[in-house]
Amino acid sequence: MDKDLELKLRTNFISAYKTAQKECNFKSPIFIRMLNEHGAYETAKRLTNTSQWQKGYEKLASLGRTDLTVEHIILQEEYLSYFSDTQILNAKKKISTAKQMIGHKY
């Protein structure tokens, strides 16, 4: 992933995070630390290498806001080619499971 696209990915993550803070009273210092230490692309890969729900994802999913997750963002067309089939499948599974279990607006 080139630097411009990674910056755009980071910007999307930060925007979603700020919306989650404002609208859902959501805080995840671990996520911000990951972004700062590993960058947006590596953070996304790490979070989607497994189908297990991390605490931050679980919180947003329980609030019906999977639209504010890394998983949702990386499924945008412009990012898909940078992630493995497994990572994409894991992201889709997490969102699908949240829809079935919890239901949500998005």
pLDDT of residue 101: 78
Q: In a structure prediction context, what are the per-residue pLDDT tens digits for the chain, which is 106 residues long?
A: 899 999 999 999 999 999 999 999 999 999 999 999 999 999 999 999 999 999 999 999 999 999 999 999 999 999 999 999 999 999 999 999 988 877 555 5
Boundaries of domain holding 72? 3-101
pLDDT of residue 103: 56
Report yes or no: 66 and 104 within 8 Å, Cβ to Cβ: yes
Measure Cα distances from 79 to 21, 43, 57, 70 in Å.
24, 14, 19, 11
* DSSP conformational letter for 68: G
Q: Is residue 73 part of a domain?
A: yes
pLDDT of residue 105: 53
- The tally of domains found in the chain comes to 1
| 84 vs 100: CA distance, rounded Å | 24
